[in-house]
Structure 1
């Protein structure tokens, strides 16, 4: 439950009723738009290599959006198949739609791996129903 990113703001946007307007909050991924951020660990590097191969792009940063790079639902299926074959990671295609960049996808895989490891004493084979 530790935040991955803190964004300092002068004040929080509020609705007319005084509640926090979540739709007006900045998207953390937009902070990195237009800047290349290299993979920080092995999982992110492996994911970047898979995306580069399938999307046929020279480099992929960890905050680059899969769908903005040219990904679509068919390529998402291929990414999931590559993850299963190359990294023994079993994800649903819908998880790729939720985790559109490498940073989020790697965090999701690490979280699933930790959950699976706690349940089965192995951190290598990640399964999601």
Structure 2
């Protein structure tokens, strides 16, 4: 996994995780990146500093970041999570097969979210299946 700081044309900066640098590049080329704050599609990598591991990095946080949002970015991500989880069906690791079946008309279209391996996501993108990475882990995966 790699974390990038992203910036949009409106001046917002957000952090997002990607499976790899190649995964980021594929999503960028396919136009599947957008600002987590304003939704702008004009997003690019911002100048970043490397993350240095400290002794406290091994200590698990007591509450997940989005459980008690404290700044505008965390509040926007929390609202996005609430929107996705309230209006979509969680399909877990069946995301790729469900998304493909809907794209091919084999299943009725509906809003879904879940997990997919990088190779599965890449195949879906190459086949024109609309998808986007979520900037948070589903609550089902946190428990």
Higher strand share: 2
TM-score (norm 1): 0.26
Higher helix share: 1
